[in-house]
Structure 1
Amino acid sequence: MKQLTATGTGQTVDEAIENALKELNVAKEKVEVSIIDEGKKGIFGVFGSRPAIVKLKVNINPMEEAKTYLENVIAQMGVTADVEAVENGKELTLNISGADIAKLIGKRGQTLNALQYLVQIVANKYSNDYITVIVDAENYRMRRRETLENLATRLAAKAKKTKTKVVLEPMPSFERKIIHSVLSEVEGVSTVSDGVEPNRHIIIIPE
């Protein structure tokens, strides 16, 4: 959890608080306010005046922020869905459920992967320690894992039979990791990742 602070000044305490809130970009109910100086109007509101000074402190829960961000993005996409958060140490899994889930998954999980990437950025913006975020929808990740495992086994057999390299389509690092893991236990082939993100892909090499 990261703690953010901001100091605000203004002609009144309320104005000083509003100025500090703008800097923090958070809602007033999330902050703890400390009044450093209530200020002074001075003669005729000018001579001898002193601005009000406040200090705002907010403790931001990165996992709550990540969940809220994902809910807002889903709503902006015009999809009605529920998001369940499961915390496990420094890992956060956000499970999405609803009627129009296909729109959130996209072709081969591309939309879901993009959402996961954005949510992970938000979570780690507010965290002192790195948080791993997994965004799933109706157990798509499990089904995709099974698909990748079957694909890896099938293409490894092809590479061994033809004695030629097999180049897979680009995929995110966590999906490449599944391919590498499955084929590390298959004799007669090895795997390497090649290319630059987002076009990094796996090559299956017959030995």
Structure 2
Amino acid sequence: MGKFVAKSVDQAIEKGLHSLNISKDNAEIIVIQNDRKGFLGLFKKDAIVEIAVKENNFKNQVTKLEMKKSEAESDHKPKYDKKVDSYRLDKETIYQNLSKYLIDIISQLQIKAQVKNIKIAKKSVYIEFKTDTEGLLIGKHGLTINSLQELSQIYLNHQGLSYVNVVLDVANYRERRKEILKHLAIKTSREVVAKGSPVYLDAMPAFERKVIHQTLQNSKYVATQSSGQYPYRFVIVLPSDV
């Protein structure tokens, strides 16, 4: 979901659809503010629209991914062979197999994508995708790509690589999302100081909550803590003297 500003509603919608890489049929569009020409050049207003992936399409994607998670729990658990540890493949082969597995799932979600880059470190692997429909692969609030990332972690766990952290990315989404979370943390901290009471953020995955905690960890005025049960854990930002 995102807000887009332009001189007219049509231009704002076009800008948003292009930014999210989705068609109008797959978009949920809300006009927040209509454009206004004003009088003699005064009091002009730009149009503001909010655009998100359509709920039905989003729910279908989530349902399919949840089914895939269940399958991964059982189908990708390696079988031990006393004679040959055949499941102990080298990391590079495992990561290549994981990439093919993910592309297969993504194609079942009616998304055309390919692996653009794989970066391998000792305890992490970064897999970057390329697609013309980035908005669909990312999903509403990042849920699609986050679910795929969780699925990837399950896959690696069953391959004996539970110590490896996997990150999936497309169109530099992770870095963009990190900056958004930092701004959210700072904005929320100011709100907490002004109100003098805690603010409860929406539920988010652990690696996103970590960004909030790290951004505000040195603040003299606010503190943070995670609360709730998985997968609905969220961050509370509260005055440091509470």
TM-score by length of structure 1 reads 0.71
Worse-matched range after superposition: 74-83 or 107-116: 74-83
| Match 2:212 to one of 150, 174, 179 | 179
1:69 to partner: Cα distance: 1.3
Which residue number corresponds to residue 156 of structure 2?
123
| Match 1:69 to one of 101, 105, 125 | 101
Structure 2 CA distance for aligned equivalents of residues 114 and 181 of structure 1:
23
1:45-97 deviation digits (Å, cap 9, x = unpaired): xxxxxxxxxx7945533322221211111122222211121111120111011
TM-score by length of structure 2 reads 0.61
Which residue number corresponds to residue 50 of structure 1?
none
User: Identity rate of aligned residues, in percent?
Assistant: 32
Which residue number corresponds to residue 89 of structure 1?
122
1:175 to partner: Cα distance: 0.2
Judging by fraction of residues, say which structure has more helix: 2
Q: Structure 1, unaligned stretches of length 5 or more?
A: 8-33, 35-54
Amino acid aligned to 1:121: I
Which residue number corresponds to residue 21 of structure 2?
none
**Do residues 164 (structure 1) and 197 (structure 2) align?**
yes
Structure 1 CA distance for aligned equivalents of residues 208 and 177 of structure 2:
9
Contact kept, 8 Å, 2:88 with 2:159, in 1: the verdict is: no
Contact kept, 8 Å, 1:62 with 1:122, in 2: the verdict is: no
Worse-matched range after superposition: 135-144 or 62-71: 62-71
Is the radius of gyration larger for structure 1 or structure 2? 1
**Do residues 151 (structure 1) and 197 (structure 2) align?**
no
In the alignment of these two chains, the number of paired residues is: 160
**Aligned pair in 2 of structure 1 residues 118, 56: CA closer, same or farther (>3 Å)?**
closer
**Aligned pair in 2 of structure 1 residues 129, 111: CA closer, same or farther (>3 Å)?**
closer
**Aligned pair in 2 of structure 1 residues 93, 160: CA closer, same or farther (>3 Å)?**
same
Amino acid aligned to 1:143: R
Which residue number corresponds to residue 170 of structure 2?
137
1:166 to partner: Cα distance: 0.5
Structure 1 CA distance for aligned equivalents of residues 151 and 140 of structure 2:
18
**Aligned pair in 2 of structure 1 residues 170, 58: CA closer, same or farther (>3 Å)?**
closer
Contact kept, 8 Å, 1:4 with 1:59, in 2: the verdict is: no
1:128 to partner: Cα distance: 4.8
Structure 2 CA distance for aligned equivalents of residues 97 and 128 of structure 1:
25
1:122 to partner: Cα distance: 0.6
**Do residues 79 (structure 1) and 115 (structure 2) align?**
no
Q: Secondary structure at the match of 1:89?
A: coil
Contact kept, 8 Å, 1:65 with 1:123, in 2: the verdict is: no
Structure 2 CA distance for aligned equivalents of residues 128 and 108 of structure 1:
28
Worse-matched range after superposition: 110-119 or 56-65: 56-65
Q: Structure 2, unaligned stretches of length 5 or more?
A: 1-77
Q: Secondary structure at the match of 2:203?
A: coil
Query: Superposed, which structure 2 residues align to 1:23-102 within 5 Å?
Result: 57=86, 59-60=88-89, 61-83=93-115, 84-102=117-135
